[in-house]
Amino acid sequence: MKLKRLSDLERHEPREVALGTLPTDIAMGRFAVDKAFRINALVREVHGESFEWYGFLLAARDEPETVLDVGIPPNEQNLREHARIAAEKIIQFQEALPAEWIINGWIHSHGSLAYRRFSDLDEENHLTVLDFVTSLVRKPIAKREIPVKDLALLVSGSHSEADLREGSVTLVTDAPVRSAWILEAVYGGFCYAVVVGDDGWHEQEILYKRRGILTGETLIHKKKATIRKVETGRFLTALDEEQLREEIRRKIQPPKADPPEHMERL
């Protein structure tokens, strides 16, 4: 192939028009922050030992980007040093919530471990939670050009079957068109992920998913994030703590022994 000009070598960058944004930090009510660390302490008090537990971050359906509470599902699959989340458990927990509440992420503890970051198994849990949460919070965030090489533009009623054989993509219009560019809606969603430890440390990320409505092109990425505490007027009371203590007795049980392959997965 003979190039007529150097610009023929350049890769066309698809045009994109922003329509919305996704969160860049984790807005979390003070009640939810205090509750998360209190759960960690109560697990040790109730069971007399430190081990992992997990819960879901909860938001109001009409304000999905702000964490208002932490919900605890039954932690049947906990082991001593890691927790696994099954997709059906997320669905069950969501279905049991009042209609105005949704899950917008997950939180878990590494207990007394010195492992102050997300593990390989945590990364698997990220994707499970992300798939579910984005089905609830996704929204149009952009219109993105679909590059089409060799686009054929035809007029309805004025083309032949042979004309349809031309071009890689054919656009049939009701009037003559000299040029066109095609945009697809891009939907985006997010979920929050937080890990805490007995010493009061915490690490958090935001995971994102973008999907083109026509091409189906899906991109997943994540970023380290900060927790931005927001005042919601709700505080952790003595009654809240007593109810939380009983919930921990019922839902977070002492772990079984770890499988031999555990250290390879952490």
pLDDT for 260 equals 47
Q: How many CB atoms lie within 10 A of CB 160?
A: 8
pLDDT for 130 equals 97
- Whether 222 maps to a domain, the answer reads yes
Distance CA 69, CA 4 (A): 62
pLDDT for 124 equals 92
pLDDT for 265 equals 44
- Whether 66 maps to a domain, the answer reads yes
Which residue ranges in the chain fall short of pLDDT 50?
A: 1-3, 6, 80-81, 259-260, 262-266
- Whether 99 maps to a domain, the answer reads yes
Residue 206 domain boundaries: 23-143+189-265
pLDDT for 105 equals 98
SS3 201: coil
- Whether 204 maps to a domain, the answer reads yes
Q: What is the CATH number of the domain that holds 97?
A: 3.40.140.10
Distance CA 140, CA 20 (A): 7
Distance CA 261, CA 266 (A): 9
- Whether 9 maps to a domain, the answer reads no
Q: Tell me the β-bridge partners of 192.
A: 105, 206
Q: Report the interhelical angle of 238-251 vs 30-47 (nearest 10°).
A: 50
User: DSSP string spanning 17-80?
Assistant: EE-----SSEEEEHHHHHHHHHHHHHHHHHHSS----EEEEEEETTBTTEE-EEE----TT-BS
Q: How many domains in the chain? A: 1
- Whether 224 maps to a domain, the answer reads yes
- Whether 14 maps to a domain, the answer reads no
- Whether 213 maps to a domain, the answer reads yes
User: DSSP string spanning 164-186?
Assistant: GGSSSEEEEESS--S----EEEE
Cβ pair 32, 69 in contact under 8 A:
yes
